[in-house]
Structure 1
């Protein structure tokens, strides 16, 4: 233990033990005796924070320290403690780290869905012999709206860097969708796509920057958080106008 590491305050230790029911936080273990562990290590955070601490048995603590159990899993175990009993410690105050990770995964999932809807629309235009396939527009609009909600939620739960990086990814896809809705020839033909590799690299780097910003907000190294892992959620959606000329907008 580092010489400058402070002792865990007794009220905080009590809160952590009560949260775990005085058993190891890993549901399939639940052993005792117990130790208090920092999920993001002390030498990086230099503070005792309830949302970053969990009660483990010595065996699970050792497995966590050597990497047999990764940090994403440990944040999930921490979140499961809260969800298992809403009357336990701070039920109104869910883990901000777990919430940010969920918002990040939701954002990735919805952006992936939007990507597919844009690609499907491009194919529909390419195969259509009867003009613009308006039947494909609604799905693309809805995917854009879902992505907008997920972008806003991620920005709300993250810091300024996360919000800006998420908006950049959204705007990249918005520009791509605008080109499709405006029927720009370069999107459908290969002409003007000599820079296709640069175009793809720009998209990839936008995701890399976002991943790094999320990890900074979580006090994690980028290698400690999986780059992609999707989940979805349905909710009331705003309208997102697509196409700079507004030719295909309809009242819904």
Structure 2
């Protein structure tokens, strides 16, 4: 390893273990994504740890997501802060990925509520309910940001997810019967299609991060235990037929 790079890494942590609750010495330099996979010394992928924390990381007691976060915190004047303005490239991509997921699922929930409102309304489409339109604009921005921080494959996969929801929202706004009435098999097919689009995106994000798909949580912890929310896609779902 080049001595200037090693020096930069040690200075970054103040010659202490990078984990804030440890800060021990002596020290070792670790690759967050293993050397045998990246075959290069990259400052953003390297971190200084004490031998104990290094061993815990190698055996999986500390996962890569946490280690990327510890690396990100080193960029801050105070390691206890949690909202850096200038995240490292990998941490920034993970953050954009989580934001995309959050805004897309929020859009999904708003479309589902609109479907329910249409079904309950005696006057057709509830024209005052434009929440899904506003949320779609935020989801579009989150999609663009994810594509900007990822590579072309990440951008394409993110746009595929966005387009799936855009088509569904358009069908609802156009009051197409297919958006409100379908067989249970139709709904299951659509859920499967949606899941596969999210799975494809997850694989592309992990590839951009040099991670195995199992090393990055599919979704962050939510009230639904990290599963893709089972929001209804039409009237059968609203009336409880697919519960």
User: Normalised by the size of structure 1, how large is the TM-score?
Assistant: 0.83
Tell whether 2:99 aligns with 1:106: yes
For residues 22-41 of structure 1, the aligned pairs below 5 Å read 22-41=15-34
Match of 2:49 among 53, 56, 62: 56
Cα offset for 1:85? 5.5
Shift of 1:229: 1.6
Gap runs ≥5 in structure 2: 223-243
Shift of 1:83: 2.0
Q: 1:205 aligns with which of 186, 196, 215?
A: 196
Q: How does 1:62-81 map to 2 (within 5 A)?
A: 62-81=55-74
Kindly state the Cα deviation for residue 194 of structure 1 after the two structures are TM-superposed.
4.1
Cα RMSD for the two superposed structures: 1.8
Q: How does 1:136-215 map to 2 (within 5 A)?
A: 136-137=129-130, 139-190=131-182, 194-215=185-206
Return the alpha-carbon distance in structure 2 between the equivalents of residues 174 and 23 of structure 1: 49
Correspondent of 2:213 among 198, 205, 222? 222
Work out the CA distance in 2 between the residues paired with 1:37 and 1:190. Answer: 54
User: Highest relative contact order (Cα 8 Å, sep 6+), 1 or 2?
Assistant: 1
Q: Is the 8 A contact 1:111 1:147 kept in 2?
A: yes
CA distance in 2, matches of 1:177, 1:113: 13
Matches within 5 A, 1:109-120: 109-120=102-113
Q: In the alignment, which residue of structure 1 is the partner of 2:241? A: none
**1:135, 1:93 → 2: CA distance?**
39
Aligned ranges 1:118-129 → 2 under 5 Å = 118-129=111-122
Residues in 2 aligned to 1:194 and 1:29: alpha-carbon distance in whole angstroms = 53
Does residue 96 (structure 1) correspond to residue 92 (structure 2)? The answer is no
How many residues align structurally? 218
Report the CA distance between 1:93 and its aligned residue. 6.8
Post-superposition shift, 1:31? 0.5
Specify the SS of the correspondent of 2:129.
Answer: helix
Once the two structures are superposed, what CA deviation does each residue of 1:109-162 show, in whole Å capped at 9, x if it has no partner? 00010000000100000011122112222x111110010000000000000000
User: 1:169·1:203 contact (CA, 8 Å) conserved in 2?
Assistant: yes
| 1:21, distance to aligned residue in structure 2 (A) | 1.0
- CA shift for structure 1 position 199: 1.4
